Amino acid sequence: MNTDLDCHPTTEILNDYIQGNLSTGLSVALSAHLELCKSCKQNFAKLESSIVNSWEQDSSEVSTNDFAHLVTNIVNQPQIDSDNSSVARQSPITEIHMLDHSFTLPKILAKAANDGLVWKKLGGGINQAKVDIDTQTQCEFIYMSPGSQTPAHKHQGSEITLVLDGSFSDDSGTYEAADFIVRSGKDEHQPVSEEGCLCFAVLDSPVTFTRGLPRLFNPINRYRFRKTIAQQS
Amino acid sequence: MEVADQSLCTLKDRDSDEALLIATGNSQDTEAFNRLFQRYSSRIFALGMKITRNEQLSNDLVQETMLNVWRKARLYDLDRGSAQGWIFTTARNRCFDMLRKLKRQPQCVTADDIWPQQGDVDLEPVHEEQGSLVAESAIIASYCEQLPGLQKAVIEQIYILDRTHEEAAVALDIPLGTLKSRLRLGLSKLKLLIGVDQ
């Protein structure tokens, strides 16, 4: 794991995650990171208990509703003995295979990939499988084959990349399993992977290619993104 | 309700959120549930307002969350942390799913998948190294003898007979929550006896 502080979610984003303020796509990426990163998991537990402990003080908004009448209705409902749904929810897919590698996925990503992944070759040894998680973001698994290089690109919005296996490098450094990387609109980068790399990425707007032939795709890319969003909403 | 009383013994205050929640689950105590409802409805409403900024949705959230608390109260045990934490998790998750439904987002993942409950994670086994497993088992077995009978019975069920928590609870005829509390007490006592740090 990269020890660089940049490769973990900030306290601010963790607090938003705990309070349910993030998009589903981002929440899924954070859930997966917490399964892989012990120190963030501990940090998360601390932040969560402090949010829970200050819950009462933070509750300034008061409802005009009188809830008292609800109690009678609720206590007439049967209680349940066991949460069978958690067993049923277990995903049959926990691993994905690429070429001769197989990767074990964090639970939440296994669940998200449950319907099966359709891989598309993007050229340069890059493979992409989109996952339909929400209407605000575009979520995808990216597999970079050993020796692959993505075209130089920058982001209009933000891109969160969670490394699941292997490693990749760009101008800023090398990233390994469990690293949580945030790229904003300003950054231009050209990731390369010598040993191959599986990532989960969450984009809140399309990627813009900055060099060479792939630039031709930019208008199409943007169109596709808008179309996906339109179909989902 | 000998068993219920026992699990309450570890709770100092019978009016604490934990005691009320356990009473709600163990004996369908509507008075206890009513008290919880009074304590939490405004907190849940405020959380809803923070996330949705919509009064109607926040009112719905209070109903939805408290219905969940009632229905699932039996699944709560002290291993899942404080009652307030458990209710917060329930409220946050219900709110998240309510909004997803409203925005007609795909239902492939739910809030309960994204934020797994603490209790879903199994207790760490006593032994982690495989190497001197046999020797360690013998030592642990000898320490087991020094545990109080109830805790010893639970440890035997789980670690010697290799039963699941659910199976062991049935075998000993005690609620799952009680089993987990005894198991935890037994394990920490064992660790103390053996002299390993938590």
Distance from the A111 Cα atom to the nearest Cα atom in chain B, whole angstroms: 7
Report the alpha-carbon distance of residue A233 to residue B125 in Å, rounded: 46
**What count of other Cβ atoms lies within 10 Å of the Cβ of residue A161?**
22
Number of cross-chain residue pairs from A and B with Cβ atoms under 8 Å apart: 146
Distance from the A202 Cα atom to the nearest Cα atom in chain B, whole angstroms: 15
Tokens of A74: 């609720």
Q: Which residue has the tokens 């925005």?
A: B103
Question: What secondary structure does DSSP assign to A21-69, as a single string?
Answer: -S-HHHHHHHHHHHHH-HHHHHHHHHHHHHHHHTTTTT-----SS-THH
Which positions in chain A touch B95 (Cβ < 8 Å)?
Answer: 20
pTM to 2 decimals? Answer: 0.72
**pLDDT tens-place values along chain B, 198 residues long:** 444 444 444 555 778 999 999 999 988 999 999 999 999 999 999 999 999 999 999 999 999 999 999 999 998 988 778 999 999 999 999 999 999 999 888 888 999 999 987 544 433 333 334 444 545 556 666 777 778 888 888 888 887 777 888 888 888 888 888 888 888 888 888 777 776 644
Cβ pair B71:A78 closer than 8 A = yes
Q: B63 and chain A: CB distance < 8 Å anywhere?
A: yes
Asked which of A89-98, A204-213, A222-231, B134-143 is least confident by mean pLDDT, the reply is A222-231
- A32-64 residue pLDDT tens: 999 999 999 999 999 999 999 999 888 777 877
Whole-number percent of chain A with pLDDT over 90: 44
- The single-letter code of the amino acid at B42 is S
